[in-house]
Chain A
């Protein structure tokens, strides 16, 4: 025992109260197109880029030790299913399995699967805004109404609104449906990210995943969102890429 101010004797060895402390969870979702049109250079670059992005995300969020990133991945072709999941994996344990290509482009089904995971019941009440990155090179082959309904659902659920949602389009602009992919994205200053070459795809996957993770970790506003807010977190525009014209998708 020792003496403190006011003549009060106190124990100097009071054990800290029990209870397992927990960091704030940030749920990160990849939505990767593995339809037949992604065959070859596109899917190989996507696999490589995501693997290279993982340590960069870890490095970037090291400045936010209170953040616990949990990652999952949805793949979609004829249908949508978990590539990694449904249980979220801590970032430092996350491994990207090789993604194979086949079939069509069931983007709407992937968005439905995502929306289910972003429901209030499935997400931690006090988590950070989720990060959702959609990567595709084609038109959604699900009925258009199904795609629009999935987007509407994402726009209704609180975590769908709060999420940092980015879309990366791969290849020539005539090959993918830009307005459709843009409906998924909710970062006005970023818009649709267009990767014309493997070099750009690698750079943009890294930029998008790192920037979104850092922005979500930092958070933005605790008060009620302003009326013109689209998301709870805002990103800067992506960097301009200078790329060679000889190695396009």
Chain B
């Protein structure tokens, strides 16, 4: 789990770069509570096919979810492990793209949820947490509830971007033309600070997933809800202004400089607005390149220098 005091980045695989920053919320600092967010970044390759994977999680953080900080850390571990395993299982190139994408929608939520539950059971056993009684309503082991957390994941491969989310937080794609796309449908039934959770008995059914073309690339941002809450919600015009302005800073000053400044920005937003923990991961995705061995002429115009991310 990265220290909340630092930012992390993962190397260029030809696909792009990914950066992350996590900060303890002002309300948590005042209450002497730790940051209950977590994130993880991964880049590498399988079968000579590069990929970038990242995950962010937001532990629920109240007495009923007293292990949620650990739950969030385990969630990003489980998410990355399953994204990489998913990529490996398809990396030999023999699987058609449609099947690859369909497999993500049908298999990944179940696999990530199961993996998280296995890690929770191991952690509870290793730390000898007293067994919690089953919930009278659901019959579920309430130790899962104690570790309750959200999870957002993304996998970038040569031609596709696969994203999944359970619970609140925001995942969005800023296209090269500046338009903002929220690829995952909103959850219409939840209001206030309520969120779906990996700890729900039917968690694997509560995931929202989407598959996108890598196409012309862009910037993917994943954020815990503390950030959009600071701008009156992800649907607000102010949040849109913030996103456009952030992308402009990345283009103007460079990703490393923005990464270095991000911690103090998040601290400021938390101090004067939501008070929540804040975690932001952003991935600058290069445009998809045409395969060099392509036997027919390219129809798309070549990407000019400086157009990439």
Residues of A whose CB lies within 8 Å of any CB of B are 4, 8, 10-11, 14-24, 63-66, 120, 123-129, 158-159, 162, 219-228, 232
Partner of B191, one of A63, A64, A123, A224: A123
0/1 string, B100-115, CB within 8 A of A gives 1? 0000000000000000
Q: Is B16 an interface residue (CB 8 A)?
A: no
Interface residue tally of chain B, by bracket? 35 or more
Could you tell me which residues of chain B, from 215 to 274, have a CB within 8 Å of some CB in chain A? 225, 228-233, 235-236, 238-239, 241-242, 244-246, 248-249, 253-254, 256-258, 260-261, 265, 268-269, 271-274
Residues of B whose CB lies within 8 Å of any CB of A are 26-27, 30, 58, 60-62, 64-65, 135-138, 145, 148, 168, 189-197, 199-200, 225, 228-233, 235-236, 238-239, 241-242, 244-246, 248-249, 253-254, 256-258, 260-261, 265, 268-269, 271-276
Can you name 29 A-B pairs with beta carbons within 8 Å?
A: A10-B253, A10-B254, A10-B256, A11-B257, A14-B253, A14-B258, A18-B245, A19-B231, A20-B231, A21-B230, A21-B238, A21-B269, A66-B26, A66-B274, A120-B191, A127-B192, A158-B189, A158-B191, A162-B191, A219-B62, A220-B62, A221-B193, A222-B148, A222-B194, A224-B194, A224-B195, A224-B196, A224-B197, A228-B137
Closest to B244 in A: A18
Nearest 6 interchain pairs by C-beta: A227-B137, A19-B242, A66-B275, A10-B257, A17-B245, A18-B245
B276 contacts across to A, CB distance below 8 A? 66
Partner of A11, one of B138, B191, B232, B253: B253
B148 contacts across to A, CB distance below 8 A? 222-223
A23 contacts across to B, CB distance below 8 A? 272-274
Q: Is the CB of A19 within 8 A of B194?
A: no
A20 contacts across to B, CB distance below 8 A? 231, 238, 241
Closest to A157 in B: B191
Min C-beta distance of B68 to chain A, whole Å: 8
A219 contacts across to B, CB distance below 8 A? 62, 193
B27 contacts across to A, CB distance below 8 A? 64, 66
Which of the listed residues A65, A159, A162, A222 has the most CB atoms from chain B within 10 Å of its own CB?
A222
A206 vs B20: C-alpha distance in the bound complex, in angstroms?
45
B197 contacts across to A, CB distance below 8 A? 223-224
A223 contacts across to B, CB distance below 8 A? 60, 62, 64-65, 145, 148, 194-195, 197, 199
A159 contacts across to B, CB distance below 8 A? 191-192
The secondary structure that dominates the A interface is: loop
Known: A66-B27, A232-B192. Is A222-B275 also a contact (CB below 8 A)? no
Q: Is the CB of B272 within 8 A of A21?
A: yes
Q: Is the CB of A17 within 8 A of B257?
A: no
Q: Is the CB of A126 within 8 A of B229?
A: yes
Partner of B249, one of A17, A21, A129: A17
A8 contacts across to B, CB distance below 8 A? 256-257, 260
Q: Is the CB of B275 within 8 A of A64?
A: yes
Q: Is the CB of B60 within 8 A of A66?
A: no
B194 contacts across to A, CB distance below 8 A? 162, 221-225, 232
Q: Is the CB of B233 within 8 A of A124?
A: yes
A221 contacts across to B, CB distance below 8 A? 60, 62, 64-65, 193-194
Q: Is the CB of B241 within 8 A of A18?
A: yes
A76 vs B265: C-alpha distance in the bound complex, in angstroms?
47
Which of the listed residues A19, A158, A228 has the most CB atoms from chain B within 10 Å of its own CB?
A19
B229 contacts across to A, CB distance below 8 A? 24, 126
A219 vs B239: C-alpha distance in the bound complex, in angstroms?
23
A186 vs B227: C-alpha distance in the bound complex, in angstroms?
31
A232 contacts across to B, CB distance below 8 A? 192-194
A227 vs B135: C-alpha distance in the bound complex, in angstroms?
9
Partner of A128, one of B65, B192, B235: B192
Min C-beta distance of A123 to chain B, whole Å: 7
A129 contacts across to B, CB distance below 8 A? 192
A224 vs B64: C-alpha distance in the bound complex, in angstroms?
11
Min C-beta distance of A26 to chain B, whole Å: 10
A24 vs B236: C-alpha distance in the bound complex, in angstroms?
13
A154 vs B266: C-alpha distance in the bound complex, in angstroms?
37
Known: A4-B260, A17-B265. Is A22-B231 also a contact (CB below 8 A)? yes
Q: Is the CB of B235 within 8 A of A125?
A: yes
Closest to B191 in A: A158
Q: Is the CB of B256 within 8 A of A226?
A: no
Closest to B273 in A: A21
A123 contacts across to B, CB distance below 8 A? 191
A64 contacts across to B, CB distance below 8 A? 27, 275
Q: Is the CB of A226 within 8 A of B137?
A: yes
Q: Is the CB of A222 within 8 A of B238?
A: no
Closest to B247 in A: A17
B193 contacts across to A, CB distance below 8 A? 126, 128, 219, 221-222, 232
Closest to B241 in A: A19
Q: Is the CB of A18 within 8 A of B242?
A: yes
Known: A10-B257, A11-B257, A19-B241. Is A24-B274 also a contact (CB below 8 A)? yes
Known: A123-B191, A126-B233. Is A22-B61 also a contact (CB below 8 A)? no
